[in-house]
């Protein structure tokens, strides 16, 4: 049974994923208060209320932009792009 990813592809995926994770950890320098605080317990939520509000706000904004470009762009470009399969002129 063949693997869906070859060895070199798995190395690239690992490199990219590890790079993004390390960038996420390296964006905020550690402070003394951060290093001295107690760990959060198991019963604390992983995503806080502020994080959830930011995630939902960004998702709504991105959907608004995408749908605006999708539908308003169709009306705007009917004269030049049309539905004939031609590129911009």
> What's the pTM?
0.48
DSSP assignment string, 35-82: HHSPPPPTTS-SS-HHHHHHHHHHHHHHHHHHHIIIIIHHHHTTTTTT
Confidence band for 85, pLDDT divided at 50, 70 and 90 = low
Query: Which residue ranges make up each domain of the chain?
Result: 4-78
Section 3-31 average pLDDT: 82
DSSP three-state, residue 48: coil
In the predicted model, is pLDDT for residue 40 greater than 80?
Answer: yes
User: What is the per-residue pLDDT for 55?
Assistant: 95
């Amino acid at each position: 049974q063949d693997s869906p990813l070859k060895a070199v592809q798995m190395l690239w995926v690992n490199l990219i994923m590890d790079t993004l994770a390390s960038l996420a950890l390296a964006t905020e320098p550690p402070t003394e208060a951060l290093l001295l605080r107690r760990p959060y317990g198991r019963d604390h939520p992983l995503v806080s209320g502020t994080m959830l509000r930011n995630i939902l706000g960004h998702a709504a904004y991105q959907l608004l932009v995408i749908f605006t470009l999708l539908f308003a762009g169709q009306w705007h470009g009917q004269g030049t792009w049309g539905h004939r399969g031609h590129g911009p002129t």
